[in-house]
Amino acid sequence: MGKIELQGVEKSFGKVDVIQDVNLTIADGSFVVFVGPSGCGKSTLLRLIAGLEDTTGGKILIDGTDVVDTPPAKRGLSMVFQSYALYPHMSVRKNIGFGLRMAGAPKAEIDRKVEAAASILNLTQYLDRRPGQLSGGQRQRVAIGRAIVREPKAFLFDEPLSNLDAALRVQMRLEIAKLQDSLGTTAIYVTHDQVEAMTMADSIVVLNAGRIEQVGSPLELYNHPANLFVAGFIGSPKMNLIGGAPAAAFGAATIGIRPEHLHVAGDGGTWRGKVTVAEHVGSDTFLYVHVEGAGEITVRAPGEVGLEPDDMVGLTPEEGRIHRFDSEGKALAS
Amino acid sequence: MARRISPTYKISMTVIAWAVAFVIFFPILWMILTSFKTELEAFSTPPKFLFFEWTTENYTLVQERSDYVRYAMNSVILAGGATLLGLIIAIPAAWAMAFFPTKRTKDVLLWMLSTKMMPAVGVLVPIYLLFRTLGLLDTHIGLIVVLGLANLPIVIWMLFTYFKEIPKDILEAARMDGASSWKEVVFVLAPMAVPGIASTILLNVILAWNEAFWTLNLTTINSAPLTAFIASYSSPEGLFWAKLSAASTLAIAPILVLGWFSQRQLVRGLTFGAVK
Amino acid sequence: MATRQMTTVGRIATAPSIIVLLIWMIVPLAMTIWFSLQRYNLLYPDRRGFVGFNNYVYFLTDPAFGSALANTLILVGAVLAITIVGGILIAVLLDQPIFGRGIVRLMVIAPFFVMPTVSALIWKNLMMHPVSGIFAWLAKLVGLQPFDWFANAPLLSVILIVAWQWLPFATLILFTALQSLDPEQREAAEMDGAPALSFFFHITLPHLARAITVVILIETIFLLSVFAEIFVTGTGGSAGNIAFLVYAKALLDFNVGAASAGGIVAVILANIVAIFLVRMIGKNLEA
């Protein structure tokens, strides 16, 4: 119904290779998140799937058919844009129903489907308003409504939550996840926010400079990052990456240990250092500890820990939580 | 100069501003007042500002000169025709350059603008001779073509900037929604472009109506618009100030009104985007 | 982003404008150049022949040319000076807190929309007439002799008329640019204790520099071709500029050859300015 495959997909703008040899299979009904830093090509990849850009090479298969030469209007996909891209001169009702109108559906059917979508998204009372009269969150829901009403093979989301304030973002995250779950439609979601990725995805695709670094479930990426890039990208605060002597002690060029996997004590500890900054947020305590030979280590301790700058502490990594990487940044077997 | 503005400051600034504005506007005001005087009063010294015998005889006289209506109609035909011609040629070009730009687009656009910078006298001779040979002198078609082409660069430029302002992703959304190219244009692009097109029409009508080089040199009787009609008052006989004022007031009234609405368009259209 | 098919559609759509403008520009211009190298007078259509640059020599050595060139440059220079200085002052004035700014603005903008033939005749008759004009009345009020503008200072009179017409343009542009001055800059200056006048010279004026340049370039393009005001006030003899001279040669003397040469001279003059203007616009298109 909504299985998407990318085979050897490439995209260049002039001499610049933006997407390089991407191979990916997206199972029908799954929620896949493309995540990566700015400029990694995640939006470009999404737009290639949508058909808004032409590929320079490779195939894109939707349910087994190569759509590389099919215009976006005929691919049977829906897209929710970062800026929502609502039609300013049309009412909410007409905005949502536009796709059905283009497909030539009878008016009664359009009305029925529009009202159904509106009720799912709590937009019924706004149906006759114009986008200019709606708040950001409402506009976003209209954009989603427009996408779901056509019952597409897959939803494409291009950083839809970036323009919302923090509280609204959390709320919409939940709503989108619930919606996709109940509709069962394949969803491809692009974001630079790894928290969104971790909370919403069935499967995460980490992209960097046009290449896939790793594909896996959120916990897979958390527990077993395949390389330094993924290790440093997933998880907040960032994983501590230490080279030099401490790494050599574990037989690796670089080792990584997440801030939440370090125990803090006044005495002893595998590494000793002085606290430079202590952040007390109540639920956790974040300590930045300077360790000779290892640099600045971030520690996340649960609850309230009464340590202050200039205190000497000992840090001990949790058993089995050390990640080892070779000189090329690839993960070594634990 | 934010919060505490002393009332005396505001009042003194207001007085100065109104004084300056009044001085600038005075000739127009004086012309309108003169149009309501008798010829004798119009020429009398010292000039009478408010307390004179108000009359509308000049307006009736001007209307009665049957050719006045013809001149006015010509202004309308030429301004309207030139604008229409401009739009027909310019809209596809501006649409293409705004939405499907190529590497050459910027150069093409700049070249088009540069054609507007060529002085009309540079081509007065060939145009005049060409028109004479083709029998286009003093015709509506001839003038419509000339005025349309003379302002074409500005029309293309303005439409280009307005089209560029239409958010690209709304058009992409239409494509994702299954709209074919022409449906995208008809249902989404065109409605969003209407305000921009209206603004361009406004500015172009004003420019064509006021054009006073080609209209003075290429017309005599048949297609002469109001610019030429007023010019004929430059060497009259007898007293004519009041009639001139009435004719002039009628001639400029529509454009003054349109102009008041078109200030923003003026800045956009005539500075070629060099001022934001 | 455009796909392959769309680019071709785009090219077809742009083609008419390009073709039309090419014809409008190239063909007549080429003909002007052709005529400028010919001896051709409409009154004696049989005496034709290639005369090389004779027409240019004739045009450039014509006593009228020297004064036409001078008049052209003086006209442009004086109007630029008046409109820019006046424009800045009025723009700053409009920027102040005043009552009824809307109406003030309308009154200040109005002259630009008056057709040139009307403004010329209004000024010549109602304002500057040595007997019944407003200026004459004002002069008598203060005990001076009324000044016969058009007899004694025709160029100045034309300058005044043209400046009056273009002042609103400069004002509008400069006012628009002024409004774009970040209010936070003003507040920062206030915090820094900067007096109003020095704020004007050190911050406002440099900010306006770009707009002023634009006004200069665009006004120059249009001012080089001033025609109606001179034609209608009958000052072609004394205050005629190059545009008028070309017109006179063409449609009064019927000397096609000389008029064409003159036309080319005018084009060259305008081109010098155009190069700068196009470069400026081009830079802005990138932004």
List domains and CATH numbers for chain B.
Answer: 66-226+254-270 (1.10.3720.10)
Nearest CA in chain B to A149: B177
Shared domain check, A272 and A150: no
Question: Which subunits sit against A, judged by 3+ Cβ pairs under 8 A?
Answer: B, C
Nearest CA in chain C to A70: C3
Of B177, B180, B188, the CB nearest to A99: B177
Contact check, Cβ <8 Å, C227/B216: yes
Confidence of residue C254 (pLDDT cuts 50, 70, 90): confident
Tokens of C218: 């665009």
Condensed to tens digits (0 to 9), the pLDDT of residues C141-161 reads: 888 888 888 888 889 999 999
In the prediction, which pLDDT does C238 show? 83
Q: Which of B41, B125, B133, B203 is the best substitution to test chain C (most C C-beta atoms within 10 A)?
A: B125
Between C180 and A63, residue with greater pLDDT: A63
Q: State the average pLDDT over residues C181-203.
A: 81
Nearest CA in chain B to A74: B178
Q: Which of A210, A230, A250 is the last residue of a domain?
A: A230
Shared domain check, A253 and A201: no
Q: How far apart are CA C28 and CA C43, in angstroms?
A: 22
Shared domain check, A179 and A31: yes
Condensed to tens digits (0 to 9), the pLDDT of residues A276-288 reads: 999 999 999 999 9
Nearest CA in chain C to B207: C113
Shared domain check, A260 and A115: no
Tokens of B22: 């009044």
Q: B167 to chain A: which residues are within 8 Å by CB? A: 83, 85
Residue A332 in domain = no
C132: contact with B, CB 8 A cutoff: yes
Confidence of residue C5 (pLDDT cuts 50, 70, 90): low
Condensed to tens digits (0 to 9), the pLDDT of residues A88-108 reads: 999 999 999 999 999 888 999
Domain count, chain A: 2
Domain region containing A32: 4-230
**Beta bridge partners of residue A11, listed in sequence order:** A19
Shared domain check, A80 and A192: yes
Q: C233 to chain B: which residues are within 8 Å by CB? A: 234
Q: What residues 56-75 of chain A have any CB closer than 8 A to a CB of chain C?
A: 71
The whole-model pTM stands at 0.80
Q: How far apart are CA B208 and CA B211, in angstroms?
A: 5
Q: In what order do the strands lie in the sheet with A295-302?
A: A262-265, A312-317, A271-280, A284-291, A295-302
From first to last of its 276 residues, chain B has per-residue pLDDT tens of 455 678 888 888 899 999 999 999 999 999 998 888 888 878 877 777 777 778 888 888 887 776 788 899 999 999 999 999 999 999 888 988 888 888 888 888 888 888 888 888 888 888 998 999 999 899 999 999 999 999 999 899 889 988 988 888 999 999 999 888 888 888 998 899 998 899 899 889 999 999 999 999 998 888 899 998 888 887 766 678 888 888 899 899 888 888 888 877 777 777 766 665
In the prediction, which pLDDT does C286 show? 57
In the prediction, which pLDDT does C1 show? 42
Tokens of C37: 């190298």
Contact call for residues A192 and A236 (beta carbons, < 8 A): no
Q: Which of A206, A230, A254 is the last residue of a domain?
A: A230
Residue A334 in domain = no
Residue C287 clears pLDDT 60, i.e. is over it? no
Q: C221 to chain B: which residues are within 8 Å by CB? A: 117
Reduced to 3 states (helix: H, G, I; strand: E, B; else coil), residue A108 is helix
Shared domain check, A64 and A195: yes
Q: Which of A201, A230, A259 is the last residue of a domain?
A: A230
Contact call for residues B75 and B225 (beta carbons, < 8 A): yes
Residue A331 in domain = no
In the prediction, which pLDDT does B244 show? 87
Shared domain check, A46 and A180: yes
Condensed to tens digits (0 to 9), the pLDDT of residues C41-76 reads: 887 777 777 887 888 888 888 888 888 888 999 999
B199-220 burial code (b ≥16 CB/10 A, e <16): bbbbbbbbbbbbbbbbbbbbbe
Helix axes B140-164, B190-210, angle to 10 degrees: 140
Task: For residue A316, give the amino acid letter.
Answer: T
Q: B183 to chain A: which residues are within 8 Å by CB? A: 102
Confidence of residue C3 (pLDDT cuts 50, 70, 90): low
Nearest CA in chain A to C1: A53
C230: contact with B, CB 8 A cutoff: no
CA-based nearest residue to B198, from B102, B112, B87, B93: B87
Q: How many CB atoms lie within 10 A of CB B172?
A: 21
| CATH code, domain with A23 | 3.40.50.300
CA-based nearest residue to B210, from B229, B226, B231, B234: B226
In the prediction, which pLDDT does C250 show? 87
The percent of residues in chain C predicted with pLDDT above 70, rounded, is 97
CA-based nearest residue to B121, from A229, A272, C231: C231
Shared domain check, A314 and A166: no
The CA-CA-CA angle for residues C32, C38, C41, to 5°, reads: 90
Shared domain check, A145 and A29: yes
In the DSSP assignment, the letter for residue A328 is: T
Instruction: Say which residues have a Cβ less than 8 Å from residue B68's Cβ, sequence separation at least 6.
Output: B62, B229, B247, B250
Q: Count Cα atoms within 13 angstroms, Cβ side, for B58.
A: 27
Shared domain check, A199 and A299: no
Contact call for residues A46 and A35 (beta carbons, < 8 A): no
B166: contact with A, CB 8 A cutoff: no
Shared domain check, A82 and A220: yes
Q: State the average pLDDT over residues A314-325.
A: 91
Of B169, B178, B191, the CB nearest to A102: B178
Shared domain check, A212 and A276: no
Right CATH for C17-286 from 2.160.10.10, 1.20.1530.20, 2.60.120.620, 1.10.3720.10: 1.10.3720.10
Domain map (residue ranges) of chain C: 17-286
Of C101, C110, C173, the CB nearest to B275: C173
The CA-CA-CA angle for residues B250, B255, B259, to 5°, reads: 145
